[in-house]
Amino acid sequence: MTRLLALALAILALASLAQAATITIEWAPGVGATAYDIEQSIDNGATWKVAKSVMTASVCTTTKCSTTYIPPATGLVLFRIVSYSAQGKSIRTHAGFWYCEQCILPGTASSAEITVIK
């Protein structure tokens, strides 16, 4: 019984380590937009799927929209924002943003010193 419990805890610990970080996605609101889809591509933009849909009223102020999302844990993920209104949708295809958990650089060194040893 103790071994089974230890195994279950180990599996849970490994599963929690495999999760990607939660990211915050922010953008400027589109004039007249009532909703947004955050689309993602994991194949360099060949295909896109809706990662999250949000209503303007729930995520936007007059100057900024913001929501959180957990992207895939591996590889490069491209994102784009699709705006919706009563007239239709607008996709900004020439600009987007990306996330890559493996691509996050470590913090830079600081307070470095050189000591001369004679």
**Rounded to 5°, angle at Cα 71 from 30 and 18:** 165
Report if residue 117 sits inside a domain. Answer: no
Report if residue 47 sits inside a domain. Answer: yes
Range of the domain at 69: 21-102
How many angstroms separate the CA atoms of 49 and 74, rounded? 17
Report if residue 5 sits inside a domain. Answer: no
CA distances from 84 to 31, 37, 46, 55, 113 (A): 10, 8, 22, 9, 55
**Of 91, 90, 89, residue with least CA distance to 80:** 91
Q: pTM for the complete prediction?
A: 0.65
pLDDT of residue 13: 39
Report if residue 110 sits inside a domain. Answer: no
* Number of domains making up the chain: 1
Report if residue 28 sits inside a domain. Answer: yes
Predicted confidence pLDDT, tens digits, the chain (118 residues)? 444 333 333 333 334 444 568 888 898 888 899 999 999 999 988 899 999 999 988 899 989 999 999 888 878 888 889 899 988 888 766 666 677 766 666 666 666 655 566 6
How many angstroms separate the CA atoms of 70 and 56, rounded? 20
pLDDT of residue 5: 36
How many angstroms separate the CA atoms of 71 and 63, rounded? 25
Report if residue 74 sits inside a domain. Answer: yes
pLDDT of residue 105: 61
Contact present, 113 and 106 (Cβ < 8 Å): no
Report if residue 44 sits inside a domain. Answer: yes
pLDDT of residue 115: 56
Looking only at the bridges linking them, the beta strands covering 49-55 and 35-41 are: antiparallel
Here the CATH number for the domain that contains residue 34 is 2.60.40
Question: How many Cα atoms sit within 13 Å of 116 on the Cβ side?
Answer: 1
Report if residue 3 sits inside a domain. Answer: no
